[in-house]
Amino acid sequence: MSNIVVAGAAGRMGRQLVQAILERTDVTLAGATEQAGSPHIGTDVGLLVGNETLGVPVSAGIETVAASYDTIVDFTAPANTRALVAHAENTGKRLIIGTTGLDENDQQLITAASAKTALVYAANYSVGVTLSLELLQHAARVLGSPYDIEIIEAHHKHKVDAPSGTALAMGQAVAAGAGRDLNKCAVYAREGITGAREDGTIGFSTIRAGEIIGEHTVLFCGQGEQLEITHKATDRMTFARGAIRAAAWISTQPNGLYDMSDVVRPAD
């Protein structure tokens, strides 16, 4: 049984994570946090998700959680995630990271912390997206350089980073399959007289509108044919359920850094 604290529990994703915990019998909601000064501090988290009281008040940060817990699930913001990575490294608490917009330095911090605890860090916790990353790498390997690759992603207007973490993960997957370095071949913007497309590049296009939950399409365009691999999320609960699945899974894992492919991989 994994005892879980949800960081940012009053937020859009935090409430979904709380609900995903309540759906399962192999995990327990041990705590919930929000930033100091939040109007939700002290509120029973059950009331935030439309349930009756659960006896779990929202705490002002991880250091104020009084209950015993072993795993933190974090879909907040980079600054808060950095603090939680340090906390996990110092205390040995397990950590599930779904925050987007983390940079290379953040990833180095996460890797360093994995020597002292177990972490799952994934750009997307959907099982379908996890499978699509494997399909994309295989497609890029088979199709090779004659095919132009474009990644199109769409999200709601509230999303603050672009391209999405999932789009970047897809870019890494197709670059690996095609034997390219994404840092050298990615094209993130086109405007004005750009000239003809340069062979070997991987293009990204970003859409931000309305309440689109998340849509990703990768185009492989060759002579006389076009292959599209698309994933569309229709309910945010798919991400929350995947993250809580990861939290249950990591409770039995040794120290190390894992991603969602490790979580869904069949046991030997």
Strand order in the sheet with 225-233: 186-187, 202-208, 148-155, 214-222, 225-233
The two three-digit tokens of residue 226, written as one number: 């076009």
The yes-or-no answer on residue 232 being catalytic is no
Closest CA to 198 of 163, 148, 153: 148
Residues 245 and 238: their CA atoms lie apart, in Å, by: 11
The answer to whether 54 and 46 have CB atoms below 8 angstroms apart is yes
The yes-or-no answer on residue 159 being catalytic is yes
Residues 86 and 79: their CA atoms lie apart, in Å, by: 11
Q: Which helix (H) or strand (E) holds 228?
A: strand 225-233
Residues 53 and 188: their CA atoms lie apart, in Å, by: 46
Task: Indicate which residue of 40, 87, 155, 231 is catalytic.
Answer: 155
Closest CA to 198 of 186, 209, 210, 207: 186
Catalytic residue annotation? 155, 159
